[in-house]
Amino acid sequence: MNSLCDKEVIAALYEASCAGVKIEMVIRGICCLKAGVPGLSENISVHSIVGNFLEHSRIFIFDNGGSTEVYMGSADWMPRNLDKRVEIAFPVEDEKLKEEVCHILKTELEDNVKAHILQPGGTYEKVDRRGKARVNSQEQFCEEAIAMAEQAMKNSQPQNERVFIPVESNN
């Protein structure tokens, strides 16, 4: 998401962390949660990806006892969004779409070029890339989109091309 600053949501995340739930988040902008604090949020990691694009997915994946649930939503977790607006979160139920959506979040979590990790003291540090293949999630998504478009062009049926020719006046 872009921002996380709702106190009630943060408190619930801390409670889940204390209960042993592993939480990995990609929050591009404002994050009022303190990640990695022993006894409070040691099971929470926050990645921030700031690259060429300002887009950020709002994908929520829950491993509910081995049954993966995937949701997408419109809201950042901020009081103005959660308390004063009509926002939506919806389940992704189609298995192929679930795979595609999970791929997006997994790739963002693997980003080690543009990602920074929130530290317990509130600062962000670049990901340690030593010994790891370079992963720039935004570049990867662009490459995947180009490949899908090229494949779609190969698979498409030839269509009659129409060319618009404007009528010119004789004046």
Cα(60)–Cα(48) distance, integer angstroms: 16
Residue-by-residue DSSP string for 24-93: EEE--S-B-SPPS-TTTTTTEEEEEE-SS------EEEEEETTEEEEEEES--BSHHHHHHS---EEE--
Cα(66)–Cα(5) distance, integer angstroms: 29
Residue-by-residue DSSP string for 87-140: --EEE---HHHHHHHHHHHHHHHH--SSEEEE-TTS-EEE---TTS----HHHH
Cα(162)–Cα(86) distance, integer angstroms: 43
Specify whether domain 7-155 bears CATH 3.40.640.10: no
Domain regions of the chain by residue span:
7-155
Per the DSSP assignment, residues forming a β-bridge with 48 are: 116
pTM above 0.75, yes or no: yes
When the pLDDT of each residue in the chain is averaged and rounded to a whole number, the result is 88
**Confidence bin at 31 (pLDDT 50/70/90):** very high
Q: What is the tens place of the pLDDT at every residue in 33-66? A: 999 999 999 999 999 998 887 667 789 999 888 8
| pLDDT exceeds 80 at position 101 | yes
**Confidence bin at 158 (pLDDT 50/70/90):** low
Instruction: Give the neighbor-by-neighbor strand order of the sheet with 115-118.
Output: 23-26, 44-49, 115-118, 124-126
Retrieve residue 32's tokens: 């009022």
Q: How far is CA 94 from CA 28, 62, 98, 100, in A?
A: 27, 16, 6, 10
Retrieve residue 78's tokens: 């901020």
